[in-house]
Structure 1
Amino acid sequence: MNVIISTVCRLGLAGLWIASGVAKAMDPGQTYIAVAAFDVMPDQLTSTVAAVLPFLELGLGLLLLLGVGTRAAAALSVGVLVAFIAGIVQAWARGLSIDCGCFGGGGQVSAGRTEYPMEIARDLGFLALALVLVRRPATRLSADGLLARHSARSASPVTEGK
């Protein structure tokens, strides 16, 4: 049963990263606007983060979808999600009116149009999926599983008959 739960977590998290990465990669200008709206980095760093973020998310999504380096991808996902949650919390605490741009779009919005509690709750849910995978990375239909089975077979002692 734990393997099934971990598999669902892995595929769900993969879907998150792929969907958000594709949305950001399709509109790099809007991704820059969304990252800049948090107002926490100098412009040069904002440009770098906006350029790298879609591909980081796509990379994590593909690793998780294929089940390659599941624990490492999940651990990196934890770090990214904690950074996202911290970004939303600081924007809320500073009274900024922004859309996080998590799935495209993002940037300044009219006062009272923010959805910070829902965004934080959503990201905490994704964080829970990532933490499950850090703890229990063994899943079905994964390259990690195939490699583990192959290693176990090749590590078996070969005995020759007398």
Structure 2
Amino acid sequence: MNERLRSWRPWLGLAVRLGLAAVWLYAGWSKVDDLAASGRAVHAYQVLPYDVAMVLGAALPLVELALGVLLLVGLATRLVAGVSVALLLVFIAGIVSAWARGLAIDCGCFGVGGELPAGQSPSYLPEILRDLGFLALAGFLLIWPRTAVSADGALTGEPVEDDDE
């Protein structure tokens, strides 16, 4: 690998890690004060039974906050990136499914979602493109999880510059 790129990758990884952490923290924080509304937003996708959607919707903000905190400190980065990839793929599939079935819902990604008022159009394409961008960030961390200034690095004691992953 090019030495110059190799020397910058840990710092680029730090920026990616902190960016994705901010996404998860904002997403979780925007929903954590009304877990029932988060459950209703999951139910609006009409793919899960009501009770399952409510439990999943209530748990989701807590999972998002946990992912954000772990990324913020750089702990278990590859595992968190893998979980992020999986969640983002589920989110994208859910939005595509709602779009394909003609549902008019707000994704609920960054706050209260659910059915949109009559006459209001959903913005599915921008939501999918946004989530694909987040997926790219998570994919970067899945491939190159060792970043500058991380708990992972402090625990292993290995310099990230020697990373050939």
Report if TM-score (shorter chain) is over 0.5: yes
Gapped regions of structure 2 (runs ≥ 5): 1-7, 160-165
Written as runs of structure 1 = structure 2, the 5 A alignment for 1:16-95 is: 16-95=23-102
* Residue type of the alignment partner of 2:87: V
- Structure with the greater alpha carbon radius of gyration: 1
Please give the alpha-carbon distance, in whole angstroms, between the structure 2 residues aligned to 1:86 and 1:45.
18
The 5 A counterparts of 1:147-158 are: 147-149=155-157
Given that 2:38 and 2:54 are in contact with CA atoms closer than 8 Å, whether structure 1 keeps it comes out as no
The alpha carbon displacement at 1:112 in A equals 4.8
Could you list the per-position Cα deviations for residues 2-55 of structure 1 after superposition, in whole angstroms to 9, with x for gaps in the alignment?
A: 111111110011001011101111111221221111010011211110111011
The structural deviation recorded for 1:111 is 4.1
Q: 1:33 to 1:75 in 2, by over 3 A?
A: same
Task: Verify the 8 A CA contact 2:36 2:58 in the aligned structure 1.
Answer: no
User: Where does residue 114 of structure 1 map in the other structure?
Assistant: 122
Give the structure-2-normalised TM-score: 0.88
Deviations 1:104-143 (A, max 9, x none): 0111113452100000000000000000000001111110
CA distance in 2, matches of 1:111, 1:45: 29
Partner-residue secondary structure (3-state), 1:39: coil
8 Å Cα contact 2:36/2:54 also seen in 1: no
* Partner Cα separation in structure 2 for residue 42 and residue 115 of structure 1: 25
In 1, distance between residues paired with 2:15 and 2:51? 38
2:154 match? 146
RMSD (CA atoms): 1.3
| Structure 2 residue 16 is the aligned partner of structure 1 residue 12 | no
* Aligned pairs, number: 151
Provide the identity percentage.
48
